[in-house]
Amino acid sequence: MKDIVFIFFAALFSINAFSQRDSLNIGDKYLEDQLYIDITYNLIQKQPNELEKTGFSYGLALGYMKDIPFNRSGKTAFAIGMGYSYDSFDHGLKVIKDNGNYEVDPDITSNKIKLHNLEMPIQFRWRSSDANTYSFWRFYAGVKIIYNVINEFRYKLIDQDFSFSNINNYNKWQTGLTLSVGYGTFNFHVYYGLTPMFKNATLNGNSIDSRIVKVGLSFYLL
């Protein structure tokens, strides 16, 4: 958690340092919002009824976007990119690795999921900017394709710690809708997962259809 706090403040410092140069005209090229940072509060929706609400969960994503304007003004554009994301979830499922099923255990005192992902965001972009405007309205909508590189499930049961890495029925390929809206430096961001977190996973004989939702802020840099 201390590392995430440090990264958060480092990101804010970097954003402030570059916020006066978030637009640039080089010759006939209009460059905008090439780098992104997302800081989010994470939720898991469509959880089984047996599970209680998850505790504090968070995420961080950063990457590069290729911005392709539709016109000379750059007010509308298409963008595609590549990035990295880290997500931590306070979860309620007890992993049983041998058979791919899950349980709920009231004796578990700590239960975490750690995810390291590669992501490819694709956006349609509208903004009120031009090559000499440094603060403007943004409306960026699109999809994000995610490939999970590492997933780790950890929980503590009485005096024992358990850890399982790269669970087979965790869905490595996931897709979600994204929306970023804001003015200037701070932009509201939401991600809604369309793909279940797990495949062929059950709890008490019922399929698990959990989906990831993220709500937070997006920061864009040249």
- pLDDT, tens only, 50-76: 776 667 899 999 999 998 888 777 788
Q: How many domains does the chain have?
A: 1
How far apart (Å, rounded) are the C-alpha atoms in residues 124 and 139? Answer: 8
CATH, residue 209: 2.40.160.20
- The single-letter DSSP state of residue 138 is E
Question: Band of the pLDDT at 14, cuts 50, 70, 90?
Answer: very low
pLDDT digits (tens, 9 = 90+) for 136-145: 899 999 999 9
Mean pLDDT (whole number) for 204-219:
90
Per-residue model confidence (pLDDT) at position 202: 80
Close Cβ partners of 83 (under 8 Å, ≥ 6 residues apart): 36, 61, 62, 63, 64, 118, 119, 120, 121
Take residue 157 and report the two structure tokens written for it.
């049961």
Q: What is the pLDDT of residues 100-124, one digit of tens each?
A: 667 777 777 778 899 999 999 999 9
Q: Is the per-residue pLDDT at 19 higher than 50?
A: no
Instruction: State which residues form the domain around 137.
Output: 2-221
